[in-house]
Amino acid sequence: MVIPRRIVTRFADMTSDEATDMILSAQTIGKVIEKEFDATSLTMAMQDGPQAGQTVPHVHMHIIPRRSGDWANNDDVYDELDGKQAAAGAKRVDNDERKPRSIDEMKEEAEQLRPFFNQYED
């Protein structure tokens, strides 16, 4: 997930510099995610406003690694983002069998990915 440093509700509320930074950050993060998670494509999704499905009142972009056949119907990924059940029989990256991760597990993953982003620290 990519978020701006300043908390804003809608994409249009961001400054031009913030929007540019967010998109360029998504590009950089996407390259790492694709490589490190052995993906061949990415879905980048932003739900901007309640009628678009935004449930958390701050701008954020999901970056989802994709592989051939990961969903039976390619657009089912959007049902997943909405918290709806995808098409029956679909092979999903994120599904009901996934166990919640502990803080330690997420910290370990962050430490594994950190070297790819050290050059971008300010």
Which residues have a catalytic role annotated? 60
| Pairwise CA distance, residues 29 & 16, whole Å | 20
User: 40 φ, ψ to 5°?
Assistant: -110, -10
| Token duo for residue 78 | 């959007």
Closest CA to 8 of 78, 61, 77, 59: 59
Q: Cβ distance 92 to 86 under 8 Å?
A: yes
Neighbouring CB atoms inside 10 A of 42's CB total: 19
